[in-house]
Amino acid sequence: NHRYVFYDSRGEKRIPTSLVKLDIDNAVVKWFSRPEKKVYIRKDYLSRELLDQYCTDEQLRDNDPSLVQRAEKIRATLDTFGFAACFPGYHKKDLLGILFVGPKIGGIGFTYDDLLFLQTLAMDASMAMITAEYQKALARKILDLEESLAVINDLRMKDREKYLQTIVTLANTVD
């Protein structure tokens, strides 16, 4: 029941945020969430250039044609929306989101430092999502505890009133 929703778009080729929803069976999501046993492929990012290499690699095509087909689907997805690269964000081994970026201004490719920065950004965004979930859960628990404490205090007040009534009743019977 997982769905990855496109959240924001900026720049000249702005994409409506409600337009893109990636289900768990989407090729991009599968790429980053499924382990590959036969061959080594990148799981830390995908760029248009890297996908071109996968799609034209004859050895990869011979060893795992389905992987090449998935790379071709991802390349088509990137082309459709004008993305140049995508970076997964994980918590432990769970894919939480994917950061899609357009081409670098000026038309030059991403440098190694750019790729590292964008990978870090995707991971930081994932950690921020987890932190927000933890904070939300903690706030719910605090509210539950406050409600429980109010019930306990109410019961204590009722017990105190009964105790005082018992003392007064006993004191009246002694007289």
| pLDDT digits 0-9 by tens, 78-96 | 888 888 999 999 888 888 8
Over its C-alpha atoms, the chain yields an Rg (Å, rounded) of 28
Name the band, by pLDDT with cuts 50, 70 and 90, for residue 1.
very low
What is the pLDDT at residue 3?
55
Torsional class of 34: left (φ above 0), alpha (ψ -120 to 50), beta (otherwise): beta
Backbone angles phi, psi at 97, to 5 degrees: -170, 170
The total number of residues shown for the chain amounts to: 175
C-alpha–C-alpha distance, residues 106 and 101, integer Å: 14
pLDDT tens readout for residues 133-167 = 899 999 999 999 999 999 999 989 888 888 888 88
C-alpha distances (whole Å) from 26 to each of 22, 31, 48, 80, 141 are 6, 9, 17, 14, 35
Burial of 101 (0-12, 13-18, 19+ CB in 10 A): middle
Could you tell me the pTM of the whole model? 0.71
